[in-house]
Amino acid sequence: MNRLSQSVEPPRVLNIEDLRRAAKRRLPRVVFDYIDGGAEDESTLRANCRAFETVTLRPRCAVATPVCDLRTTVLGTEVTMPLILAPVGSCRLMYPRGEEAAARAAGEAGIICALSTLSGCRLEDVAAASGGPMWYQLYLVGGRDCALGGIERARNAGFSALIVTIDTPVAGFRERDLRNGAKELLSGNLGAMLPFVNQILVRPRWLVAFLADGGLMKFENVVIPGKGPMFYADVTAALEQSVVTWEDLKWIRQAWNRPIVIKGIHTAEDARRAVDIGADALVVSNHGGRQLDGVAPTLCVLPEVVSAVGDRIEVLLDGGVRRGGDIVKALCLGARAVLVGRAYAYGLGAAGGAGVARAIDILRADLVRTLKLLGCASVAELDRSYVDVPADWLKE
């Protein structure tokens, strides 16, 4: 076991917040804040986490549950637990070949990993590293032909579902990135970079690893016809020109004959539209509070969405999951599984694949313990009777 792997072992790292602190120690501020931050006042980011505190558990005591069954299926795929690694862009800034490291940890744990379009590693290499179930997340950056190229490559590489993110018509206003000089550092202009380089120089271990990994990545899965992979600095402008509309979802449905997951559902109305266009699953998600600040926390919206769509589509949730008990609460309110973004990105930033594996282990151990304390033998048995929910969340 190397030094970094040891650094995320217990008792040093017992929970996701410990991984967050470890990531903060290893990463330059500009990279840590890219993971940790949210849009504008970050009120939705905080609310996502707090919503889990508002729902309380109703245990059945004096019940023996010697074994707890965490297994479930998501879109027909058998998984060892109801946890999915969410698409997180630019993982290669967090750790060398970061997307491959995360996918490998997910594959070893028997859970699904969703790869972002904005990945630094080629999707074929990530699929090969994983060996487990993989989903490909689609942004239309680079235009339709470019997206079709990505879709074709994802199909050939064996990705089993396409996850289309619909809440990014423009990048959210992430003030920490601006204050840290993310734009200047990407500009390649030494004069502009100079006021911001100190935060990088004080993290020499990260810097050496970053340079050994080839330095600033390109987006290997966004291949612009006639030009090649998209440059990192071009992404913000490209995102603004690549709004996904319900019309686009129709041609995406035609172009991809495996399951489609729509990510970024905030309301019952959009959930019904997702059903109408033939999606197979949806993710109640506000992008972890990174897009429109001031929207409701996802856990709070979940009952409304579940009652709007019934069992016509699988409902997933992300946003604010930091404990196994949070997963239990989301399942009690009707989610089939949850996605986590920051929980594993902190692990990746702290210690690469070992940190991601540690994040998954923490959530798995939490989940088993919470089920035992609840007196519930399996995730399949979780329902509303195990939680108390604020009455105004339950508008039918």
Contacting residues toward ligand FMN, per CB under 6 A: 34-35, 48, 86-89, 116, 118, 137, 165, 263, 285, 287-288, 290, 318-321, 340-343, 345
When the beta carbons of 163 and 376 are compared against ligand FMN, the nearer one is 163
Sorted by sequence, the CB contacts under 8 Å of residue 139 that are 6+ apart come out as 116, 117, 118, 147, 165, 168, 239, 242, 244
Both tokens of 93, joined, read 């800034």
In the bound state with ligand FMN, the residue whose beta carbon lies nearer, of 283 and 376, is: 283
Question: What does the angle CA 36 – CA 72 – CA 318 come to, to the nearest 5 degrees?
Answer: 20
The amino acid occupying position 234 is D
Q: Note if 266 is an active site residue.
A: no
Nearer to ligand FMN, 287 or 376 (CB): 287
- The catalytic residue among 26, 97, 287, 322 is 287
Query: What is the nearest approach in angstroms of ligand FMN to the Cβ of residue 114?
Result: 7
Distance between CA 334 and CA 199 in Å, rounded? 43
Which pairing describes strands 83-85 and 337-340: parallel, antiparallel, or unpaired? parallel
Shortest separation between residue 64's beta carbon and ligand FMN, angstroms? 33
Cβ nearer to ligand FMN, comparing 85 with 309: 85
Shortest distance in whole angstroms from residue 281 CB to ligand FMN: 14
- We find the least distance from the C-beta atom of residue 391 to ligand FMN, in angstroms, to be 26
- Do residues 41 and 292 make contact, with C-beta atoms less than 8 angstroms apart? no
Residue type, 339: L
Task: State which residue, 289 or 376, has the beta carbon closest to ligand FMN.
Answer: 289
Tell me whether residue 336 or residue 376 sits nearer to ligand FMN (CB atom).
336
Cα 119 from Cα 92, distance rounded (Å)? 7
CA distance 25 to 253: 43
Supply the minimum distance, in Å, between the C-beta of residue 65 and ligand FMN.
Answer: 28
Closest residue to ligand FMN, judged by C-beta, is: 341
What is 78-129 written as a DSSP string?
EESSSEEEPP-TTHHHHSTTHHHHHHHHHHHHT-EEEEPSS-SS-HHHHHHH
The CA-CA-CA angle for residues 282, 386, 313, to 5°, reads 20
Query: Distance (Å, rounded) from C-alpha 188 to C-alpha 34?
Result: 19
To the nearest whole angstrom, how small is the minimum distance from the Cβ of residue 152 to ligand FMN?
A: 20
Q: Which residues are catalytic?
A: 287
